């Protein structure tokens, strides 16, 4: 996301108009009590006024991740085999063993919570006391239902493809994977119910957080800075605000967003506007600003410290709600229309 450098007296082309929008919502749901009506909104935000890289990366990782998530959903549905249990399965006559659990059990058209737990869903007791830390990552590749899967994958395409084109597969992939774990760590620490939490939205929120830090760290290469910042902050606020509705694991969202926000300062840093390198080592400007370097160092320290402290608390069995009486409101705010006991 950088403006084209004007070198050797060349003229810069006028940038195309900025495109923004809001796309279908991702969400991380508790599979024991899911509700498809409430899920965070995912933005498709890209400031074309920031210009184009010298070269655009080929996009293959994001489509591969989408295919992997779809394949994993099919595998889980195959082994779920709803008709085997004699339940009133949805679509039993057509889908047979791929049919969905009764809607009163799973309104998102998906498997049972027991199946999700068996194949890698995030369950606090098994992570803390069962030495199954791998669930912190595997849970991000599972989905509570067809609606959940579709919303997350559509959002991933709109957000992830643009980022991969600009920054390459390994940077976007690293943000995605690590943010998913960061979301799971915070979820284990603070989620109050004993259900199974699944979904890729922690990783998706990580991409959103990385977009925000990318804007901050590459501030000098944007032309319409205030509008871009306001747009991202508003969309991030909407995303997280919807997470306070019931049956949505907002702790996974917050943890993923914070992780991606820090990683963006490290991985998505770009040379300052006007920097260029000539033969024989000549440079017109220093490559990075002092502010970029300071933010990078701080982000590395905070990321390492955050994961070290978070994982230590998880494996010691710490319940964050015992030390923070109001934190549960970050994931669910009770009203006259719903309760947050579970």
So which residues are the catalytic ones?
201, 253
Nearest CA to 204 out of 148, 276, 146, 247 is that of: 148
Q: Which two structure tokens, joined as six digits, stand for 211?
A: 């977009």
Q: Which two structure tokens, joined as six digits, stand for 152?
A: 């997350």
d(CA 327, CA 312): 19
Whether the CB-CB separation of 34 and 145 falls below 8 Å is answered with yes
d(CA 301, CA 288): 19
d(CA 147, CA 25): 10
Residue owning tokens 């295919």 = 67
Helix axes 169-190, 290-315, angle to 10 degrees: 40
d(CA 105, CA 100): 10
Whether the CB-CB separation of 18 and 227 falls below 8 Å is answered with yes
Whether the CB-CB separation of 125 and 117 falls below 8 Å is answered with no
Instruction: Kindly write down the DSSP assignment for every residue of 175-232, as one continuous string.
Output: HHHHHHHHHHHHHHHH--S-S-EE-SHHHHHHHHHHHHHHHHHTGGG-SSHHHHHHHH
d(CA 299, CA 217): 11
d(CA 133, CA 302): 22
């Amino acid at each position: 996301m950088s403006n084209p450098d004007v070198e050797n007296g060349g003229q810069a082309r006028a940038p195309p108009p900025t495109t923004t929008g809001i796309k279908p919502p991702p969400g991380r749901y508790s599979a024991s009590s899911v509700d498809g009506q409430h899920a965070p909104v995912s933005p498709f935000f890209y400031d074309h006024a920031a210009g184009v890289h010298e070269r655009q990366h080929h996009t293959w990782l994001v489509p591969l991740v989408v295919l992997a998530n779809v394949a994993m959903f099919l595998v889980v549905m195959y082994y779920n085999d709803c008709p085997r249990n004699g339940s009133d399965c949805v679509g039993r006559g057509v889908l047979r063993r791929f049919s969905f659990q009764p809607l009163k059990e799973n309104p998102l058209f998906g498997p049972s919570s027991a199946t999700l737990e068996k194949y890698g869903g995030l369950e606090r007791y098994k992570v803390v006391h069962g030495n199954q830390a791998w669930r912190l990552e595997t849970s991000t590749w599972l989905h509570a239902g067809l609606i959940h899967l579709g919303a997350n994958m559509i959002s991933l395409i709109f957000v992830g493809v643009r980022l991969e084109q600009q920054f390459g597969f390994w940077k976007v992939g690293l943000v995605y994977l690590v943010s998913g774990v960061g979301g799971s760590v915070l979820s284990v620490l603070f989620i109050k119910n004993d259900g199974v939490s699944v979904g890729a939205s922690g990783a998706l929120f990580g991409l959103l957080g990385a977009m925000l830090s990318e804007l901050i760290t590459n501030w000098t290469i944007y032309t319409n800075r205030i509008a871009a910042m306001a747009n991202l902050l508003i969309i991030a606020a909407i995303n997280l605000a919807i997470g306070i509705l019931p049956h949505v694991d907002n702790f996974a969202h917050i943890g993923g967003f914070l992780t991606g926000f820090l990683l963006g300062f490290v991985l998505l840093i770009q040379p300052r506007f006007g920097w260029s390198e000539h033969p024989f080592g000549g440079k017109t400007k220093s490559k990075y600003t002092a502010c970029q370097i300071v933010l990078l160092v701080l982000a590395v320290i905070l990321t390492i410290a955050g994961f070290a402290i978070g994982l230590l608390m998880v494996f010691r069995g710490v319940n964050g709600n015992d030390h923070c009486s109001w934190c549960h409101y970050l994931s669910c705010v009770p009203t006259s229309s719903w309760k947050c006991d579970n």
